[in-house]
Amino acid sequence: MTPDPPRRVEILMVEDSPSDVLITREAIDQVQLSNNLHVVEDGVEAMAFLRKEQKYAAAPRPDLVLLDWNLPRKNGREVLSEIKSDERLRLIPVVVLTSSKAEVDVLRAYGLHANCYVTKPIGFPGFVEMVKSISHFWFKVATLPATA
């Protein structure tokens, strides 16, 4: 009996920096993670994607959200708060991925029920290691609920 092929992982990246999106895509390719990376540029678009509104009506439910903390229109704090207060979305793991190392941001993120807070590494090798770590933990070690 042949094992089923691995299920493609759905990742929503909420990031307004094109260079950070590009380096993350390249790191994901380097790690050879079987995924679909969906990218939105601000918090308003993130919530529309997650709620399957307007142009995102056919959007898949993400297995993981990579959320930048400093976003236009609706910042990461607001997005995280909305996700974790929405009964239909709160089980989706949210990794805050940001350049901020400020303790106030770390405390705020965990206070809003972020599943993880990661400071963006400098340079491509650091991004590759970060993506490897995130994908290994969330998709190999952790057991996610079937509804997430």
With 70 as the cut, is the pLDDT of residue 4 above it? no
Bridge partners of residue 38, in order along the sequence = 12
Mean pLDDT, rounded, for 15-25: 90
Q: State residue 143's pLDDT score.
A: 81
pLDDT band with cut points at 50, 70 and 90 for residue 122? confident
**Tokens 């793991």 correspond to what residue?**
93
Please give the CATH topology (third level) of the domain spanning 9-140.
Answer: Rossmann fold (3.40.50)
With 70 as the cut, is the pLDDT of residue 23 above it? yes
Bridge partners of residue 39, in order along the sequence = 13
pLDDT band with cut points at 50, 70 and 90 for residue 128? confident
- Which position has the higher pLDDT, 61 or 5? 61
Q: State residue 131's pLDDT score.
A: 86
pLDDT tens column, 53-74: 999 999 999 999 999 999 989 9
What are the residue ranges spanned by the domains of the chain? 9-140
With 70 as the cut, is the pLDDT of residue 88 above it? yes
pLDDT band with cut points at 50, 70 and 90 for residue 77? very high
Tell me phi and psi for residue 131, to 5 degrees.
Answer: -60, -40
The 3 state secondary structure assigned to 47-96 is HHHHCCCHHHCCCCCCCEEEECCCCCCCCHHHHHHHHHHCCCCCCCCEEE
**Tokens 């190392």 correspond to what residue?**
101
Q: State residue 114's pLDDT score.
A: 96
Mean pLDDT, rounded, for 129-135: 87
**Tokens 């998709």 correspond to what residue?**
139
Q: State residue 1's pLDDT score.
A: 54
Q: State residue 34's pLDDT score.
A: 67
Distance CA 91, CA 64 (A): 10
